[in-house]
């Protein structure tokens, strides 16, 4: 009887140890999943920040390009006005002035 009690106590201890080992393993797996999820969230935040910076840079580049184009157009328009004044001073008939004033110059 004493032997059976000792055997039962040994089996119970082994069962408790096995349960504890499973619980420890489950806790480690849960912690690994949490670390992995945190790493994924971090990567997603970095990617979102990078994409936002790229969009901002593209918008700024577009604004710079529009500003440069507008300045170039202003220079061309200034040159056009000078040339029309020169033609007028040179005595070129007004109908030719109108044709040149309507002319579109490709950039």
pLDDT per position as a tens digit, 7-16? 766 667 777 8
* Structural domain count, the chain: 1
pLDDT above 90 covers a percentage of the chain that reads 50
Q: What would the pLDDT profile of 13-45 be if each residue is shown by its tens digit?
A: 777 878 898 999 999 999 999 999 999 999 999
Asked whether the beta carbons of 68 and 99 are under 8 A apart, the reply is: no
Residue with tokens 């009887």: 1
pTM over 0.85: no
Owning domain of residue 70: 2-102
| Contacts for 101 with CB less than 8 Å, ≥ 6 apart | 80, 84
Residue 35, CA atoms < 13 Å, CB-side half-sphere = 6
Quote the distance between the C-alpha of residue 20 and its chain's center.
47
Q: What is the 3-state secondary structure (H, E, C) of 44-97?
A: HHHHHHHHHHHHHHHHHHHHHHHHHHHHHHHHHHHHHHHHHHHHHHHCCCHHHH
Domain assignment present for residue 68? The answer is: yes
Tens of pLDDT, residue by residue over 51-83, are 999 999 999 999 999 999 999 999 988 988 898
Does residue 18 form part of some domain?
Answer: yes
| 107 within some domain | no
Query: For residue 103, which of 87, 91, 71, 89 has the smallest C-alpha distance?
Result: 87
């Amino acid at each position: 009887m004493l032997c059976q009690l000792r055997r039962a106590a040994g089996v119970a201890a082994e069962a408790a140890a096995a349960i504890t080992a499973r619980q420890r393993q489950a806790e480690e797996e849960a912690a690994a999943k949490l670390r992995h999820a945190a790493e994924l969230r971090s990567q997603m935040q970095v990617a979102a920040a990078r994409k936002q910076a790229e969009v901002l840079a593209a918008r700024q580049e577009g604004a710079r390009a529009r500003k440069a184009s507008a300045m170039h157009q202003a220079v061309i328009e200034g040159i056009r006005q000078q040339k029309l004044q020169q033609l007028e001073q040179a005595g070129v008939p007004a109908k030719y002035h109108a044709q040149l004033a309507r002319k579109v110059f490709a950039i």
